[in-house]
Structures are given as structure tokens and as C-alpha cells.
Chain A
């Protein structure tokens, strides 16, 4: 079963507009962490933002915010004021802290974001 689902293979956004990248997850563990990574065309994985399952508030990091809806098991990434340099692949990932696989991340299939000038 898919632990992380990203249903948008590709997204386009106008420069300076906001964009939401969807992520839903599946776990029965009460303790888990949700992460977003950016992968530019050069290939490296860049950490963007983290949300813990017990965090009361949605995580924010500069132009990135995470719209965490625990009951719906969704952790959407919101990028405000998009810039051309935001064009990249974006991966949602999760760790189950209480499972016997708590060391590993589960990644979604990614969303390719293109920012249009």
C-alpha cells in the first residue's frame, strides 16, 4: 500500500503567485513526521519543511508552509510568491517513528512544478 500519495505529476504556476502541492499519507502510527524535499534538475535533494504529527501549528519556513490536516491525513505544501528558481521536482516524505521501520523515509512519486514568467 502506498504510504505517500502525490496525485499531481505536474503543476504550472505564474511567477509571484502561490501554489499548493498535494500530499496525502497513510499510517496507523500516532507518531510520525512529514517532510517536503525539493529536487532541482541538478538532482540533489533539498530539505524544505518538516511537520510532526503532534505539532499544534502548521509548519512555516520562509515562503514555504505546510497545510497539515491530520484528520484528512494530508500535508500539502504551499509555496507563496513563486519564483523561477522554484521550478523543480517536489517530494513529500514520511517517517513512522513507532514502527519497526522508523529509520526509513517513504517518498511519494513527486510533483514537477514549473514556474512561468
Chain B
């Protein structure tokens, strides 16, 4: 069963530091997403990415955040200067088409101290 792979599974970083969360989507998928889930809360949309550009983003996805597909396989989320409230589980997802369901990765738990 193809899967979306996220690394690392857990990252601890100091406030103000930059972090890069990495994802390898399923190889034939064309749409890529980042979601986050603050502990005990619901999953929130951050951004969607298609054809090498952002197709949608939420209010959460401010100038501190950026996404990139640096090569044919990786999809990264960068947080430039982390804040305590960025602590959350970050999920990457991909889908083959716009109308189809996602496959989520297993998540990266980011802890900002």
C-alpha cells in the first residue's frame, strides 16, 4: 500500500529557530497539503500545493510559513521563526486528483520550547 512518509516523527526546537518538516507524497499524486493539529484540537488546513505553486492557504499560513517541492519527491513545510503556539502535530497529505480523498502521513510532532 503506497504511503505518505513524514520525517522526523518528532522535532523539538527552540523558539525563534527555523524548522523544516519533510514529506514524501505518494509518487503519482499531484496535489499536496499540510495540515496541523494542536494537541486536543481539531485538524486545521494550512496549505494546498499543485503544479509547483500554492493553490490555497488558510489564515494560519502567514509569512512565517512556506512550502517547497525542491525535487520530484519531497514536499517541505518551513517555519521561519517558530513560536510556542506553533507546537502541534503537522500532517502532510497527498491526493491523485482534486476531487479525491487524501492519504495522510503519520505526522510530525513539533514541540517549540
Instruction: Spell out A's residues near B (CB within 8 Å).
Output: 33, 35, 37, 42-47, 50, 91, 93, 95, 97, 101-110
A-B contact count (CB 8 A): 56
With A33-B99, A103-B55 as known contacts, state yes or no: A44 contacts B107, CB within 8 Å. yes
B-side contacts of A50, CB under 8 Å: 101
Main secondary structure of the interface of A (DSSP, over half): loop
The 7 closest A-B pairs by CB, nearest first: A45-B104, A44-B106, A103-B48, A104-B45, A107-B43, A103-B56, A109-B42
- B65 interface residue per 8 A CB criterion: no
| A105 contact from B41, B102, B105, B106, Cβ within 8 A | B102
Q: Mind listing 29 A-B residue pairs with CB under 8 Å?
A: A33-B99, A43-B107, A43-B109, A44-B105, A44-B106, A44-B107, A45-B43, A45-B91, A45-B93, A45-B107, A47-B101, A47-B102, A47-B103, A47-B104, A91-B42, A91-B43, A93-B43, A103-B31, A103-B56, A104-B45, A104-B48, A105-B35, A105-B45, A105-B102, A106-B45, A107-B44, A108-B42, A109-B41, A109-B42
Q: Mark B48-59, 1 if CB is under 8 A from A, else 0.
A: 101000011010
Main secondary structure of the interface of B (DSSP, over half): strand
- B33 interface residue per 8 A CB criterion: yes
Instruction: Report the count of interface residues on B (CB-CB < 8 A).
Output: 26
Residue of A nearest to B10 (CB): A43
B-side contacts of A102, CB under 8 Å: 98
CB distance from A59 to the nearest CB of B (A): 11
B-side contacts of A46, CB under 8 Å: 104
- B89 interface residue per 8 A CB criterion: yes
How long is the Cα–Cα vector from A90 to B61 in the complex, in angstroms?
25
